[in-house]
Amino acid sequence: MKFSTVFARGVALVGSIAVAVRRAKDGDATPAWGSAPAIPAAKPQGSIPTLKMPTAKGWEPGQTPIAAPGLNVNCFARGLKHPRWIYVLPNGDVLIAEASSVPGPVKSVFGYAVRTTMERAAAIVPSANRITLLRDADGDGIAEIQETFMEGLNQPFGMALVGDTFYVGNTDGVMAFPYAPAARRIDAPGHRISTFKPGGHWTRSLLPSPDGSKLYAGVGSLTNIADDGMEAEEGRAAIWELDLTTGANRIYAAGLRNAVGMAWEPSTGVLWTVVNERDGLGDETPPDYLTSVRDGGFYGWPYCYWGQTVDDRVPQDAVAVARALTPDYALGGHTASLGLCWVPAGTLPGFPEGMAIGQHGSWNRSKLSGYKLTFIPFENGRPSGPPRDILSGFLAPDEKVSYGRPVGVTLGPDGSLLMADDVGDVIWRVTGA
């Protein structure tokens, strides 16, 4: 299809999408949250699913997100280029992976509409392909040192230091680099320890095992519901386990459409992740989720969701459906929950132990959702109550513009909480008021 034809049809499609938004059922907006969510019946949206996203505006001077009562937020660093993920080194230096989606060719009218919408929302920008080092040398909660730590990478995302080796999750695989204590830059060539297919959901999050013997990597699907067939999805929609001692790599858990943030729950030693679910079935169907991850577990994608609810749009595999596990905690439909961090009790005044989750925000529902840093309390190793906002105010009340979009979140070197904002190009720091 010629681009001019795609463009003309895309303009017409925008009007159709607006109609689809106006026709959305009120019931679609009821949030699906918690361990026993009320998930509406699927309403397949066909070739014109709902498409809605705010225009990226960024923050005005002095403007910040809204912190929950008892908390304070300040800008730790600004002037970055699409910061996505955060990693804190043992000496307190803070590393920021700066990268972005690299769009492929436009294959359909809807694909054109998605791309133009994402560009307007600053979700598609030139990828910096670097890692930046931040250092707060005087301890005032603001990084006065900002310099390039690594460059020339391939859509870097996850980072991990194990011993004297620094690992980077590029979109096409995990690379290992030599690291000297307190180094402010790595120029040495690395070596590859795994290869992943690039494209589609491009982020490659990393999490070391507590004993440092293994590395876990999140690899998202290429498409929404295996649209190009299961062969194209081989090795994807999974969490991989990389054995750093033997070099063996294997799929640890599968059927996870796009598992991004990962964290260990310390009392049980269980791995948890946040997963972005499929599109095109309604505002709240199915919900994104937070779940414990079982070795060898299968979580349904693409055949079914939230346990064994079959997706009729997909050629079925009854054996796969029968063994699909139900996730632990629903996070609302299309919230794009990406960042995940274990928060010990006492980190934030008034907050118990639990998980902090950076919700990047929806683009494919009639009423926008996400666009916040939220918190799920835990008790005895399990989610134990409703979500609570840590930071909000990233989205204008009329939903027409976004000032920022939350992504990665981690504990800062001073006991604060740090969060990457890839529209505001800011790292936010949360402490007690």
- Laid out side by side, the sheet with 214-219 consists of 204-208, 214-219, 238-243, 249-254
Per-residue pLDDT of the chain (433 residues; tens, 9 = 90+): 333 333 333 333 333 333 233 233 333 445 799 999 999 999 988 766 677 888 899 999 999 999 999 999 999 999 999 999 999 999 999 999 999 987 766 666 666 667 776 776 667 778 999 999 999 999 999 999 999 999 999 999 999 999 999 999 999 999 999 999 999 999 999 999 999 999 999 999 999 999 999 999 999 999 999 999 999 999 999 999 999 999 999 999 999 999 999 999 999 999 999 999 999 999 999 999 999 999 999 999 999 999 999 999 999 999 999 999 999 999 999 999 999 999 999 999 999 999 999 999 998 888 899 999 999 999 999 999 999 999 999 999 999 999 999 999 999 999 999 999 999 999 999 999 8
| 88 strand-pairing partners | 94
- Structural domains in the chain (count): 1
Which residue range forms the structural domain that includes residue 243? Answer: 3-432
Q: How far is CA 35 from CA 27, 258, 328, 330, in A?
A: 19, 20, 6, 6
Question: How would you classify the pairing of strands 354-359 and 382-383?
Answer: unpaired
Question: In angstroms, what is the C-alpha Rg of the chain?
Answer: 21
User: Alpha-carbon torsion 251, 254, 256, 257, what sign?
Assistant: positive
Identify the CATH number of the domain in which residue 397 sits.
2.120.10.30
